[in-house]
């Protein structure tokens, strides 16, 4: 949770000597994308530094999407602090002060915005990163993500029609068979598993689908793929970094039946052990069996890495997350689909995992999935034209 203080702070408190090499200025024009980040990002910033960034957006307003802020919480942010001035004040005397862990979006009140980072000599370290763009309005547009439309995996149940608007299918260009799942994260981007692209097959993206043997729903649309980026560190041996970023050639049409999942910006550092997630897919209901023509869902428990290893998975990396539920599992052709975590505070669905690796289906061995919180920096860096809804 944020510890967020909206107070006026004195120039003296904000403006100790700037650390050499840590004073920046940038002009931001429409369609430009820049990043403001702490020194050594994605590692920890050093102790005892004072940094300042000033951005000017001559043709509009500056928007900062700070999607990764991890600064040690302290009373009145007395240890380390991030400051953001909507007026672009060079001394940050009207800056809003942040510490703790979370995400925020700030739009300047004029054509400038400024940032400051002050870390103490006894700082335990932290980090932050903001995406900086130019927009034509000073008002933060409302956004939606992770919503469900209210209305078979192994021992799963059929979903309601378009119950999960973020779910998509990767289908073969020829024949139309669903090969993998994917999840919508922006009007032009989806996430899936890297191993879905290990062969030569060519796919299209299908959204708003429910029954693959029927004529489709009113929301069903097919989109061509403009490009696929597989994580450069993907390891086919243990499926580490098993993630791919998909870009469509045109914008996907959003509605109550089709829309993006929430990315877990606010859940960075969470293990999710002993929580439950919902997995989705059109895959087989048992190993070697037929695929399901209707979208299936199943509730699975996330287990700790130590429990996962005790149950026979010898190599669990920091980018992986294990699930296990007796007699329930994802199966063949469910790869690339999401593991959805429901936030009890707002009821929204957050994509915390990507279906990756299993030992057959619903055996005594846990399934291993890609942990989304640990690959979000790669996702956001490689989709600079995306607009993510931070909830």
Whether pTM > 0.95 for this model: the answer is no
211 is catalytic: no
What residue spans of 197-356 are helical by DSSP H?
305-310
Catalytic one among 111, 114, 195, 329?
Answer: 195
d(CA 372, CA 366): 18
For residue range 217-245, list pLDDT tens digits in order.
Answer: 788 999 999 999 999 999 999 999 999 99
Query: 248 vs 144, 164, 203, 224, 379, CA distance in Å?
Result: 20, 20, 11, 6, 15
Catalytic residue from among 65, 80, 240, 242: 242
If you compute the radius of gyration of the chain from its CA atoms, what whole number of angstroms results?
A: 22
Q: Residue 132 pLDDT > 60, yes or no?
A: yes
The question of whether 231 is a catalytic residue gets the answer no
Name which of 146-160, 210-224, 270-284 the model is least confident about.
146-160
- Residue 111, pLDDT > 60, answer yes
**Which entry of 38, 192, 285, 335 is annotated as an active-site residue?**
335
**Does residue 195 carry a catalytic annotation?**
yes
More confident residue, 349 or 77: 349
Please give the mean pLDDT across all residues of the chain. 86
Q: Which domains does the chain have, with CATH numbers?
A: 23-136 (2.60.120.290), 167-382 (2.40.10.10)
Pair 78, 99: CB distance under 8 Å: no
Q: Which residue has the higher pLDDT, 310 or 384?
A: 310
The residue with tokens 């300042």 is 52
**What is the average pLDDT across 348-361?**
83
Instruction: Write a three-state SS string for 38-70.
Output: CCCCCCCCCCCCEEEEEEECCCCEEEEEEEEEE
d(CA 245, CA 231): 8
pLDDT at 328 (0 to 100): 58
In this predicted structure, the answer to whether residue 204 has a pLDDT above a threshold of 80 is yes
- Using alpha carbons, list the distances in angstroms from residue 178 to 174, 204, 244, 290, 360: 11, 10, 17, 12, 19
- Reference 267, options 102, 69, 42, 130; nearest CA is 102
245 strand-pairing partners: 191, 229
> Contact, 335 vs 195, CB < 8 A?
yes
Nearest by Cα to 103 from 141, 75, 64:
64
- pLDDT tens-digit profile of 11-31? 334 456 899 999 999 999 999
Counting residues of the chain whose pLDDT is more than 90, the rounded percentage is: 61
Closest alpha carbon to 280 in 370, 163, 383, 177 = 163
Cβ neighbours of residue 40 under 8 Å, at least 6 residues apart? Answer: 46, 127
Closest CA to 52 of 130, 117, 126, 111: 117
Give the distance from CA 335 to its chain's centroid.
Answer: 18
Q: Which two tokens stand for residue 191?
A: 């996430």
Q: Would you say residue 134 has pLDDT above 70? A: yes
Please check whether residue 379 is in contact with residue 247, taking contact to mean a CB–CB distance below 8 angstroms.
Answer: no
**DSSP of 257-276:** SS-PPBP-GGGTT---TT-E
Kindly report the number of other CB atoms within 10 A of residue 132's CB atom.
21
Residue 291: the pLDDT is 58
Residue 130 CB: number of other CB atoms within 10 A?
26
More confident residue, 56 or 199: 56
């Amino acid at each position: 949770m944020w510890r967020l203080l909206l107070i006026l702070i004195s120039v003296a408190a904000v403006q100790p000597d700037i650390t050499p090499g840590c004073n920046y200025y940038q002009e931001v024009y429409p369609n430009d994308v820049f990043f403001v980040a702490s020194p050594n990002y994605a590692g920890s910033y050093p102790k005892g530094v004072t940094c300042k960034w000033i951005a000017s957006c001559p043709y509009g307003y500056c928007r900062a999407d700070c999607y990764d802020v991890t600064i040690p919480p302290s009373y009145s942010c007395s240890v380390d602090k991030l400051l953001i001035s909507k007026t672009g004040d060079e001394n940050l005397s009207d800056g809003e002060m942040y510490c703790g862990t979370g995400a925020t979006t700030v739009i300047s009140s004029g054509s400038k915005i400024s940032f400051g980072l002050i870390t103490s000599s006894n700082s335990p370290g932290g980090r932050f990163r903001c995406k900086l763009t130019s927009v034509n309005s000073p008002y933060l547009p409302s956004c939606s993500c992770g919503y469900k439309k209210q209305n078979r995996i192994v021992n799963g149940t059929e979903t309601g029609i378009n119950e999960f608007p973020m779910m998509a299918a990767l289908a073969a260009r020829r024949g139309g068979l669903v090969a993998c799942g994917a999840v919508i994260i922006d009007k032009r981007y989806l996430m899936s598993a890297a191993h879905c692209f290990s062969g030569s097959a060519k796919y299209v993206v299908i959204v708003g689908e429910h029954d693959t043997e029927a004529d489709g729903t009113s929301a069903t649309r097919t989109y061509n793929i403009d490009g696929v980026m597989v994580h450069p560190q993907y390891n086919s041996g243990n499926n580490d970094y098993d993630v791919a970023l998909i870009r469509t050639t045109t914008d996907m049409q959003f509605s109550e039946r089709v829309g993006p999942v929430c990315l877990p910006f606010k859940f960075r550092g969470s293990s999710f052990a002993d929580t439950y997630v919902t997995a989705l897919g059109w895959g087989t209901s048992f190993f070697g069996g037929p695929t399901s023509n209707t979208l299936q869902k199943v509730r699975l428990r996330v287990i700790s890495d130590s429990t996962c290893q005790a149950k026979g998975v010898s190599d669990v990396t920091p980018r992986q997350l294990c699930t296990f539920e007796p007699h329930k599992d994802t199966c063949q052709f469910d790869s690339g689909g999401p593991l959805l975590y429901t936030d009890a505070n707002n009821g929204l669905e957050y994509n915390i995992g990507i279906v990756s690796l299993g030992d057959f289906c619903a055996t005594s061995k846990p399934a291993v999935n890609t942990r989304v919180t640990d690959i979000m920096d790669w996702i956001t860096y490689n989709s600079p034209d995306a607009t993510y809804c931070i909830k």
